[in-house]
Chains A and B, each alone.
Chain A
């Protein structure tokens, strides 16, 4: 732990937690789901979080993204305490600096591929027309140029996940948080998605934090965080 902190002292972290705790009330008991987690993720990292089901991986990810609020402890995004921000600021941060990818894609069903991808743009009061080039480029990257006017229902699972990734990428964020992005896909499609993440990380330098069950998928990253019972186990580095 000390060695890790020491190693990154001079660099600004992308996201960092301090004594992060989250518990849920079940009946009259408080069940701790995240227990005193201190992690630091650097700019450019591709981190994989692994652990048994129910160990608190998703909860941690939502806390990092500021969607959920901790019971105690703090989350710093680029050295700013997310939980001190107002809802409006947080949402701006989420659409401009972060991108989310979920296991079940979470697309807005009544919007087309293009409209889904441009959601963060329109919500940021920017003109979609100004993002024409970015949109084309991203559609090219995720391979959906021909399907831009489809609705989510008309796409396969893998294609929907690509739309979600494209949506996460459109405003060129610093960080992508992905919760089991390939958990619902066949292995071939899963590999394609992981390759895509790898490229994004390498070419665009976007920091990625993914939760995964697959060792294979974890290998695309340069760091592995193992979780058990709400606690982070020893850090593992994978050099690639």
Chain B
């Protein structure tokens, strides 16, 4: 055992470069796997703690919900009944403008009890006073830094025709309430000052309550009972939908799968090469009596040692790098939101085990296969013998290719498993067909070059056809190439969806607090609003052909008006009779009707569900009659919108969202109207978003996502390049003898170099040709996978990315050829020719 260990360690040290490449590959794949797995929970945690943080320890928010035109109330109006909350904070807000460094800034002024706010972790004063005088305010550390404000500085805030003067009295950490500051300025002062601004006294506009978490639900129920004129909401519910977690997670998963596949492929082909290289030595050992088992253990142990070293280092590096990687994905970083990094033991072990065991696992099969070779073949180094094109490999390859497309056509419901399987089959078939494809390309090239008198160029082209190592190399390049292309196609598609497909059919959207119809009616009549549409949205699921489908259900008063208002919606086929005669009519997206083979007149059962996809209490599946189809792709990427008549909606589906969509009159800008809405309703907790802001934030999300993907592509490329350069290096070592023979019989070193260059160019050509067809096939099959994860948009083969990848390949090949050229000139031919 000791001897074997010694041999293993010696092997690893003897081939320093090789070992470095193997270790680096294992290191990187462990690293990426761990970071990839850890990111989503970290980002969720960060966002939810940010949201949580905005409200400190509070878990309930109460607003007035009466039609009397005033958002304000006295604290005593709120009937807490039996409840004595752990903490209670009353808030009143006003807005204004100020000039900072010549820039006009929107100012929000919060009036509240600063000592209670400190208690509830809503503010955290680090310099200055917590207790405020009448005119003093607390600002955030970020504002202090950005606008170089200090304690004692004066701020002039205008509001309409009035001007107010404040003095900076304290600076808080940019957490808690200051999370919402973002680009604007937030001032915290006492509530009397804000009351004065409105000309009222002792009024508040919302109340934050902290109640024991386990009593939350019962408290909500009893509060709602006792306060009919108030809206009581859990703090999380209101805002968690901000982040498109599913898309993020899916893209992340896709990237992890890809990087693991690349690593797996690289590691597996490295083991193959190393074993092929070691075989003659092993053969010698065996010929002097060492038994097979011992040899196997040596090889196996060697890979295990690689795995252990590589994964441990990879893990250490991953643990160090995780905070930085997570920062890349933290969109709110610039607003001072700190990334909360947690290390999950399960992910840590998963990645560690993968890195440790995968190389050994793969090598196990390779060793078994190698052992089947007779001793004679092992002894006489036959590794550079021509690739034997087995008929079966070709047939199987073609079969797999056909199967992958068959699966594509069979996969009518865009099932994710079938989609992945069909992609996997494509990759396997490309690898299996590689020798045949190379042979074909080489033959065509030979025909083209037939009249050329340059023997070395022709020999180079010929070598591509029959050389196992070249085939292996091109396979590796191809797999990495296609995987990267896959990531590229998906991210380009998503990006384009956001920028082009999303139809601009509104200027402003705002979500209304639970059914506050009074505000909705007021806003519709505001100056600057030209048209408006009120949306009532809920969720539902349905089991269609044994597949669970989910729908975003909208109650619609007038289907034609809806169509007129939204450009993103086009009715394809409408049965007007059914729409008017059936109270349970439904219009579905044609994507859905095609997918589930529904036609007009069919009935489906839809179960109303809540945000967590749980059936809503006291609800039952409702039978709906398909009465029309539409194209809603400009409306939502999932194409799962469904419209039903408003009365039916109100009777059976709880309205989860109530949104008001506005168009702005000529002469007004969306920002102006937004501002006047937020000014007027500053105390109503309205989420007002302009189209450009929405697009911008979606774009920002996508951009972070694409940054992350780029990072992953980069790492994948590094792993790929490591593998490929290792392959090229090994191929040189294995072909030294071939070069020496050619040199001794008929070729100058210059001719050998030209032969290698011609091999390189043919390889490149093969990569371009196979990559093009493979990429197009990939593009077709990939669409299913992306549909399966809810992105129903067009995905195009991107020639830009294709070109970029080709460029990378040619650079890589040129660099490696350069080193080959140097090696050929330095090669000791005699040493290679001798056979002692």
Bound CA–CA A153/B377 (angstroms): 11
Q: What would be 20 A-B contacts, judged by CB atoms less than 8 Å apart? A: A67-B743, A87-B749, A88-B750, A91-B751, A94-B744, A94-B746, A95-B746, A102-B833, A106-B737, A106-B745, A106-B833, A108-B741, A109-B382, A110-B385, A110-B386, A119-B459, A119-B742, A122-B459, A124-B746, A125-B454
Pick the contact of B748: A91, A102, A106, A108 (CB < 8 A). Answer: A91
Bound CA–CA A153/B385 (angstroms): 8
**Stretch of B13-21, B411-419, B462-470 on the interface side:** B462-470
B455 touches A124 (CB 8 A): yes
Interface residues of A in 114-145 (CB under 8 A from B): 115, 119-127
Pick the contact of B829: A58, A67, A127 (CB < 8 A). Answer: A67
Query: At the interface, yes or no: A104 with Cβ under 8 Å from chain B?
Result: yes
Pick the contact of B453: A90, A111, A125, A167 (CB < 8 A). Answer: A125
Query: At the interface, yes or no: A41 with Cβ under 8 Å from chain B?
Result: no
Provide the B779-806 mask, 1 if CB < 8 A to any CB of A, else 0.
Answer: 0000000000000000000000000000
B745 touches A109 (CB 8 A): no
Instruction: Given A103-B835, A125-B453, A151-B386, decide whether A67 and B746 contact each other with a Cβ distance below 8 A.
Output: no
Residue numbers in A under 8 Å from B385 (CB-CB): 109-110, 153
Residue numbers in B under 8 Å from A107 (CB-CB): 741
B453 touches A127 (CB 8 A): yes
Query: At the interface, yes or no: A65 with Cβ under 8 Å from chain B?
Result: yes
Residue numbers in A under 8 Å from B741 (CB-CB): 106-108
Interface residues of B in 732-756 (CB under 8 A from A): 737-738, 741-751
B762 CB to nearest A CB, Å: 14
The closest CB in chain B to the CB of A62 belongs to: B830
Query: At the interface, yes or no: A100 with Cβ under 8 Å from chain B?
Result: yes
Residue numbers in B under 8 Å from A109 (CB-CB): 382, 384-386, 738
B738 touches A108 (CB 8 A): yes
Query: At the interface, yes or no: A68 with Cβ under 8 Å from chain B?
Result: yes
Residue numbers in B under 8 Å from A67 (CB-CB): 743-744, 829-830, 833
B743 touches A91 (CB 8 A): yes
Interface size classification for chain B: 20 to 34
Residue numbers in B under 8 Å from A68 (CB-CB): 830
Residue numbers in B under 8 Å from A151 (CB-CB): 386
B437 CB to nearest A CB, Å: 17
Interface residues of B in 442-490 (CB under 8 A from A): 453-456, 458-459, 462-463, 466-467
The closest CB in chain A to the CB of B752 belongs to: A91
Query: At the interface, yes or no: B834 with Cβ under 8 Å from chain A?
Result: yes
Residue numbers in A under 8 Å from B751 (CB-CB): 91, 123
Instruction: Given A109-B384, A153-B382, decide whether A104 and B744 contact each other with a Cβ distance below 8 A.
Output: no
Binding site for A on B (CB under 8 A): 382, 384-386, 453-456, 458-459, 462-463, 466-467, 737-738, 741-751, 829-830, 833-835
Interface size classification for chain A: 35 or more
A129 CB to nearest B CB, Å: 10
B745 touches A87 (CB 8 A): no
User: Other than the known A107-B741, A123-B459, A125-B455, what 13 A-B pairs have Cβ atoms closer than 8 Å?
Assistant: A62-B833, A67-B743, A67-B829, A91-B747, A95-B747, A100-B744, A102-B833, A103-B835, A106-B737, A109-B738, A110-B466, A123-B455, A123-B751
Bound CA–CA A67/B830 (angstroms): 7
B748 touches A122 (CB 8 A): no
Bound CA–CA A91/B749 (angstroms): 8
Pick the contact of B747: A62, A106, A123 (CB < 8 A). Answer: A123
Across the A-B interface, give the 10 residue pairs with the lowest CB-CB distance, nearest first. A122-B455, A91-B748, A95-B746, A110-B466, A110-B386, A120-B746, A123-B746, A106-B741, A123-B455, A125-B453
Residue numbers in A under 8 Å from B746 (CB-CB): 91, 94-95, 119-120, 123-124
B474 CB to nearest A CB, Å: 15
Bound CA–CA A110/B750 (angstroms): 21
A55 CB to nearest B CB, Å: 14
Bound CA–CA A58/B745 (angstroms): 16
Residue among A102, A108, A115, A167 having the largest count of chain B Cβ atoms under 10 Å:
A108
A94 touches B745 (CB 8 A): yes
A47 CB to nearest B CB, Å: 20
Instruction: Given A109-B384, A109-B385, A151-B386, decide whether A88 and B748 contact each other with a Cβ distance below 8 A.
Output: yes
B463 touches A110 (CB 8 A): yes
B275 CB to nearest A CB, Å: 20
A87 touches B382 (CB 8 A): no
The closest CB in chain B to the CB of A66 belongs to: B744
Pick the contact of A100: B462, B466, B745 (CB < 8 A). Answer: B745
Bound CA–CA A106/B738 (angstroms): 8
B750 CB to nearest A CB, Å: 6
Bound CA–CA A100/B741 (angstroms): 10
Bound CA–CA A65/B830 (angstroms): 11
Bound CA–CA A92/B750 (angstroms): 12
Bound CA–CA A107/B742 (angstroms): 9
Bound CA–CA A91/B824 (angstroms): 15
Bound CA–CA A110/B738 (angstroms): 10
Bound CA–CA A109/B741 (angstroms): 11
Residue numbers in B under 8 Å from A92 (CB-CB): 748
Residue numbers in B under 8 Å from A167 (CB-CB): 745
Residue numbers in A under 8 Å from B833 (CB-CB): 62, 67, 102, 106
Residue numbers in A under 8 Å from B462 (CB-CB): 110-111, 115
Bound CA–CA A94/B829 (angstroms): 14
Provide the A54-94 mask, 1 if CB < 8 A to any CB of B, else 0.
Answer: 00001000100101100000000000000000011011101
B742 touches A108 (CB 8 A): yes
Residue numbers in B under 8 Å from A102 (CB-CB): 744, 833, 835
Bound CA–CA A125/B384 (angstroms): 26
Bound CA–CA A120/B743 (angstroms): 10
B828 CB to nearest A CB, Å: 9
Bound CA–CA A26/B275 (angstroms): 31
B835 touches A120 (CB 8 A): no
Provide the A161-199 mask, 1 if CB < 8 A to any CB of B, else 0.
Answer: 000000110000000000000000000000000000000
Bound CA–CA A25/B678 (angstroms): 88
Residue numbers in B under 8 Å from A124 (CB-CB): 455, 746
Residue numbers in A under 8 Å from B458 (CB-CB): 122
A62 CB to nearest B CB, Å: 6
Pick the contact of A106: B454, B467, B744, B830 (CB < 8 A). Answer: B744
A184 CB to nearest B CB, Å: 9
Bound CA–CA A189/B738 (angstroms): 26
Bound CA–CA A157/B462 (angstroms): 25
Instruction: Given A109-B385, A110-B385, decide whether A104 and B748 contact each other with a Cβ distance below 8 A.
Output: no
B649 CB to nearest A CB, Å: 72
Bound CA–CA A90/B743 (angstroms): 10
Bound CA–CA A100/B740 (angstroms): 12
Residue among B384, B467, B747, B835 having the largest count of chain A Cβ atoms under 10 Å:
B747
The closest CB in chain A to the CB of B738 belongs to: A108
Residue numbers in A under 8 Å from B745 (CB-CB): 94-95, 100, 106, 119-120, 167-168
A37 CB to nearest B CB, Å: 17
Residue numbers in B under 8 Å from A127 (CB-CB): 453
B747 touches A104 (CB 8 A): no
B466 CB to nearest A CB, Å: 4
The closest CB in chain B to the CB of A68 belongs to: B830
Residue numbers in B under 8 Å from A108 (CB-CB): 738, 741-742
Residue numbers in B under 8 Å from A122 (CB-CB): 455, 458-459
Residue numbers in A under 8 Å from B384 (CB-CB): 109-110
The closest CB in chain B to the CB of A104 belongs to: B835
A33 CB to nearest B CB, Å: 11
Provide the A151-162 mask, 1 if CB < 8 A to any CB of B, else 0.
Answer: 101000000000
Residue numbers in A under 8 Å from B467 (CB-CB): 110
B615 CB to nearest A CB, Å: 67
Bound CA–CA A91/B467 (angstroms): 25
Bound CA–CA A205/B22 (angstroms): 56
Bound CA–CA A106/B750 (angstroms): 20
Residue numbers in B under 8 Å from A125 (CB-CB): 453-455
Bound CA–CA A100/B747 (angstroms): 13
A116 CB to nearest B CB, Å: 9
Residue numbers in B under 8 Å from A100 (CB-CB): 744-745
